[in-house]
Amino acid sequence: MRILVTGATGFIGSAFVQRAATAGHSIGAMVRHLDAAVAQLGHLPNVTFLAGSLAAPPWDAITAFAPETCLHSAWIATPGVYLESPANTEYAQWTVEFAKGLRDQGLRHFVGLGTCIEYDTRSASRALIEDETPLHPTSLYARMKNTTRAALADELDHSATTFAWARIFFPYGPDEHPQRLCSSLIRQLRKGETARLQRPSNTNDYIFIDDVAAGLLAIIEQKAEGPVNVGTGSGVTVAELAHTIRNLLQERGDIVGQIEEAQNAPADYIVADATRLRSAGWSPRFSLPKGLELMLNAGKHTTAP
């Protein structure tokens, strides 16, 4: 299959490119910085690099590549910035125009990446189900993701381009941004610092990045349509996550430290119902301890800043 991938050098995009390319698919990796992309992904088979961006797509190169499917993973995702960044509005506009252009070129399947925080998690106490759990996006990031989903569904309806919306839960793994929760906890505990957790009772669905990539490839290979949760179906609290990391570190960082609940804020329960993804033939390969162990091993020779 010929798969166009946006955001191909990002955390999720690069993991998908590696998974899909090694599985024998032909990948058209749309990248803004060609030299850096080649250095990162050039060792993989079956990858063609297309220099361009969502704001200025390389339409001639895309036409020459002739994709059958597009995995659209390009979006702002910088921790501490992305939730309320005005860039979310730009990405929403660019995404819809990009999808329309691909539709007009005859693309068969468009897969966009959504987020679990599109759901209403204020009083959730059970797994979140795609077509049953109400939506209530609160951050600009989540609102623009949901707005984009609705716009894409409208634009691609009654066309030859089918559409899937992969709602990603809590991905983690080697090469993630150093300010993401798992990397931040590993860094602090390795240095023997006190790790203070803002919402320790929140229950989240943490999914290893290789399982995310495999789930996205299953969605593409099975030509799934509509919203699909990309999560394990199992949840742990933030406190349990921190304790798991501390235990894996053994003698290092032996104090998790003060755990302070946010005042007047009930704990969230953000866990996927993964039935739809499992029906595509997917199942998670990495338990949380195994995934964290791989993270620790990948970073054991690096010095934290």
Cα 229 from Cα 273, distance rounded (Å)? 7
- The DSSP symbol for 56 reads S
Question: What integer best gives the mean pLDDT of the chain?
Answer: 92
Kindly state whether residue 159 falls inside one of the protein's structural domains.
Answer: yes
Please report the sign of the dihedral spanned by the C-alpha atoms of residue 127, residue 239, residue 304, residue 252: negative
Q: Residue 302: pLDDT band by 50, 70, 90 thresholds?
A: very low
The DSSP secondary structure of 35-68, one letter per residue, reads HHHHHHHTTSTTEEEEE--SSS--HHHHHHH--S
Give the residue among 159, 50, 158 at the shortest CA–CA distance from 105.
159
Domain that holds residue 29: 2-171+208-233+273-285
Q: What is the pLDDT of residues 52-99, one digit of tens each?
A: 999 999 999 999 999 999 999 999 999 999 999 999 999 999 999 999
Please provide residue 59's backbone torsions phi and psi, each rounded to the nearest 5 degrees. -60, -40
- The DSSP symbol for 199 reads S
The CA-to-CA distance between both ends of the chain, in Å, stands at 41
Give the residue among 186, 182, 194 at the shortest CA–CA distance from 303.
186
The pLDDT score that the predictor gives to residue 14 is 98
Q: What is the pLDDT of residues 4-54, one digit of tens each?
A: 999 999 999 999 999 999 999 999 999 999 999 999 999 999 999 999 999
Kindly state whether residue 292 falls inside one of the protein's structural domains.
Answer: no
Q: Which residue has the higher pLDDT, 196 or 230?
A: 230
Q: What is the pLDDT of residues 172-227, one digit of tens each?
A: 999 999 999 999 999 988 888 888 888 888 999 999 999 999 999 999 999 999 99
> Based on the structure, what is the number of domains in the chain?
1
Kindly state whether residue 266 falls inside one of the protein's structural domains.
Answer: no
Residue 46 belongs to domain with CATH number = 3.40.50.720
Kindly state whether residue 297 falls inside one of the protein's structural domains.
Answer: no
Q: Which residue has the tokens 């301890």?
A: 289
